[in-house]
Structure 1
């Protein structure tokens, strides 16, 4: 299959982030979708920007986006590869104006992510990874002058190094701390001693594991496929794993039901047993 140049995704995500920031920096209205999740004009503008960019990149690769049209499984099941997009992950963080929201784009090949990019516009940090290769982080991303993939790699920090912390860290959602998550933390503490809990919003929780700032991210609450595809690719590219709660098998995509089951993200220092 044709090689996807990551610098194209870099520019698409920055353009989407810029559209989001135009709304973020002013007062905005919040609507609610049928499932009661907030929707802002920023989601819609970012979606339009990403769709335009991905279509120009390769019109033959379909796109499944949170803000796009509903695609029935009978149509999706024929897709060998597709873009999985969340134009604005962490809408609640956006509304709270805490800066912890992201643009997520993943390339799914077969049933698994092969490329993931996550851009946090307020933090101006760009994470990216290609599974089987490596994961990277670029700070002050909007200031970077990048015209090809090599420049992107050379300016970025590789995320696959082991951390040197003595304390095990668990990253947990500020708004989704469940009894099962608390039980997981208690069991870790019995094995590893002191546990630090790190809070973060949106797909940045995956990034904390990928860059070694956290060791585990248990998500024992519902998510959708577009919430996790890009983050999984980055974690796996950095040597970590994302596995299903029920059987420890690798998390997969393009299912009949786009609602994810529970999962556990592990850094490379804690491989699946």
Structure 2
């Protein structure tokens, strides 16, 4: 297995384990400058991930790291993009729908992504060498040399003769999203599938949903890992402004509106 992929997978699992230590008991909640929540789990997971990824010579963009100016970042051909705890609101609600996201970006394109679900220990990843995406449940007590025993390949496939399955966020369903659903035929033709965090990408990648429209703000660390996994599973993540795949390490780390759907 690719060394960077092994490192990212182990980092995500160890971060997930640190998150679960906090999740199992009471925890405090802070508010960041943008009023989004922050917990001890976010911080601990970020520290764990940094301890692994700093072993490489690849710079890191993380939601919980101090942001580097674009004057410096624009010279990065490769970088890690990390969300140590995606779905903090879901974490606070204790519904299990939160993830660890780690992506490797090359020249603006996410080429490798890892998403780990701490509660179920489900791992999603894509392997640039095989150009395929995988899912598995990670056993307890694994070493730092990851072996993907039991990993199954995932790939989007449409379900015949049924409603279009549209992924909607548990926290975001605005007028633009509703208008898009209506354009597909409304409730007569559409089934809404609710899910939190980057699990929305995974649902489409593994064929449990057909399209994920995101017409609300997200940041690069929310989407990079999911996009890498989707792209290796026959699914595109398309910028609504350019009609091209979302790009990363931009001057502004805020994403445009986008749509996740199968490659035609």
TM-score (norm 2): 0.93
Q: CA deviation at 1:258?
A: 0.8
Q: Distance in 1 between matches of 2:123 and 2:101?
A: 10
1:173 pairs, out of 158, 163, 169, with 169
The residue correspondences of 1:1-273 to structure 2 (distance < 5 A) are 3-56=2-55, 58=56, 60-130=57-127, 133-139=131-137, 141-143=138-140, 145=142, 151-152=147-148, 154-160=149-155, 162-167=157-162, 168-189=164-185, 194-268=189-263, 271=264
1:52-87 CA deviation, whole Å, 9 max, x = no partner? 01112x1x1000100001100001000010000000
Q: Distance in 2 between matches of 1:147 and 1:55?
A: 15
Q: Which has the higher helix share?
A: 1
Q: CA deviation at 1:124?
A: 1.3
CA contact (8 A) 1:7 1:146 kept: no
CA contact (8 A) 2:234 2:262 kept: yes
Do the aligned partners of residues 147 and 19 (structure 1) sit closer, same or farther apart at CA in structure 2, a change above 3 Å counting?
A: closer
Pairwise CA RMSD of aligned residues? 1.8
CA contact (8 A) 1:160 1:239 kept: yes
Moved more, 22-31 or 130-139: 130-139
Q: Distance in 2 between matches of 1:242 and 1:161?
A: 13
CA contact (8 A) 2:215 2:257 kept: yes
Q: CA deviation at 1:142?
A: 3.4
Q: Distance in 2 between matches of 1:195 and 1:169?
A: 6
Gaps of 5+ in 2: none
Partner of 1:17, secondary structure, is helix
Q: CA deviation at 1:195?
A: 1.3
Q: Distance in 2 between matches of 1:205 and 1:81?
A: 25
Gaps of 5+ in 1: none
Q: Distance in 1 between matches of 2:151 and 2:34?
A: 38
Partner of 1:123, secondary structure, is coil
Partner of 1:180, secondary structure, is helix
Q: Distance in 1 between matches of 2:198 and 2:185?
A: 25
Q: Distance in 1 between matches of 2:126 and 2:71?
A: 30
Q: Distance in 2 between matches of 1:25 and 1:147?
A: 24
Q: Distance in 2 between matches of 1:229 and 1:196?
A: 26
Q: Distance in 2 between matches of 1:16 and 1:120?
A: 10
TM-score (norm 1): 0.90
Q: Distance in 2 between matches of 1:242 and 1:144?
A: 34
Residue-pair matches, total? 261
